[in-house]
């Protein structure tokens, strides 16, 4: 795995390089399971489309290494309801640190260092964007609010964290949701109003029959190939329109 250390930071990251000159650079922020193989594969897919993609590991410092994250993911996806229930105390224990507001502030600061690194890479010339999934979708909003260098942000089934200054977002945002994701569907109208009130170029795409984590092809309970395929086409079109 081509892992690198981000200079002047506490993060390592998976780096995926395009076959030729980069169209731009993307930060790919993982789900609550950490930097598991699904996320590195997404970075590889973006690289194959011409982008320098960097997937930082922002959860190891909170106690969720990729190995621990994969274990938690597998427990959560266990078809045995009793096994899933028995795993809940472990999941609460392992994920507790990531819910601390101090962790959130630290993580956004570290993600800005990832942008520092990408901005300095040859051929990028300020063409920076971010995407993320679930936990990473929320941090996509947060990073967009914290760093005006971003030209585009594409959160997947995430919500802006309470600590983020939404009005500070300076780039277009295209968000993707599953219509059966009840919690996010309840909050989406408020998010849309907040974005409109701040004058942000915000559009959401909702797939009526899709669930939370519809893009995760390692999760057989939620993966929706049709929604995932359409979202992939849309996010590529979006990044191409903003970065090229």
Token pair for 183 = 């919690």
Q: What angle, rounded to 10 degrees, do the helices at 101-119 and 135-146 form?
A: 70
| DSSP-based three-state secondary structure for 93 | helix
* CA R_g for the chain: 17
The predicted structure's pLDDT at residue 79: 79
Count the helices and strands in the chain (H runs, E runs): 7, 8
DSSP-assigned letters across all residues of 118-152: HHTSTT-TT-EEEEEETHHHHHHHHHHHH-TT-SE
The predicted structure's pLDDT at residue 125: 97
The predicted structure's pLDDT at residue 87: 67
Q: What pTM, to 2 d.p., does this model score?
A: 0.93
Phi, psi of 57 (to 5 degrees): -95, 95
**Nearest of 168, 170, 165, 177 to residue 153 by alpha carbon:** 170
Helix, strand, coil shares, percent, the chain, to 5: 45, 15, 35
202 pLDDT more than 90: yes
Mean pLDDT of the chain: 93
The predicted structure's pLDDT at residue 150: 98
Domains detected in the chain: 3-67+100-243 (3.40.50.1820)
pLDDT tens-place string over residues 56-114: 999 998 888 888 888 888 877 777 777 777 767 777 787 777 888 889 999 999 999 99
Higher pLDDT, 219 or 215: 215
pLDDT tens-place string over residues 138-188: 999 999 999 999 999 999 999 999 888 999 999 999 999 999 999 999 999
pLDDT tens-place string over residues 29-50: 999 999 999 999 999 999 999 9
């Amino acid at each position: 795995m081509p892992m690198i250390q981000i200079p002047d930071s506490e993060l390592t990251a998976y780096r995926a390089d395009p076959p030729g000159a980069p169209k731009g650079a993307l930060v790919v922020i993982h789900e609550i399971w950490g930097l598991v193989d699904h996320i590195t594969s997404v970075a590889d897919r973006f690289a194959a489309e011409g982008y320098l993609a960097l997937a930082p590991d922002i959860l190891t410092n909170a106690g969720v290494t990729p190995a621990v994250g994969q274990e938690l993911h597998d427990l959560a996806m266990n078809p045995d309801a009793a096994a899933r229930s028995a795993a809940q105390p472990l999941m609460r224990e392992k994920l507790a640190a990531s819910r601390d507001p101090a962790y959130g502030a630290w993580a956004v600061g570290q993600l800005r260092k990832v942008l520092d690194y990408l901005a300095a890479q040859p051929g990028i010339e300020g063409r920076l964007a971010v995407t993320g999934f679930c936990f990473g979708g929320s941090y996509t909003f947060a990073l967009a609010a914290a760093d005006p260098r971003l030209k585009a942000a594409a959160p997947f089934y995430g919500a802006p964290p309470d600590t983020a200054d939404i009005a500070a977002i300076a780039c277009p945002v295209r968000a993707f949701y599953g219509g059966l994701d009840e919690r996010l569907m309840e909050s989406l109208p408020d998010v849309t109003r907040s974005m409109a009130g701040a004058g942000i170029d915000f559009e959401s795409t909702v797939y009526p029959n899709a669930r939370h984590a519809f893009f995760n092809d390692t999760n057989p309970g939620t993966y929706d190939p049709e929604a995932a395929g359409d979202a992939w086409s849309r996010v590529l079109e979006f990044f191409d329109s903003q970065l090229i």
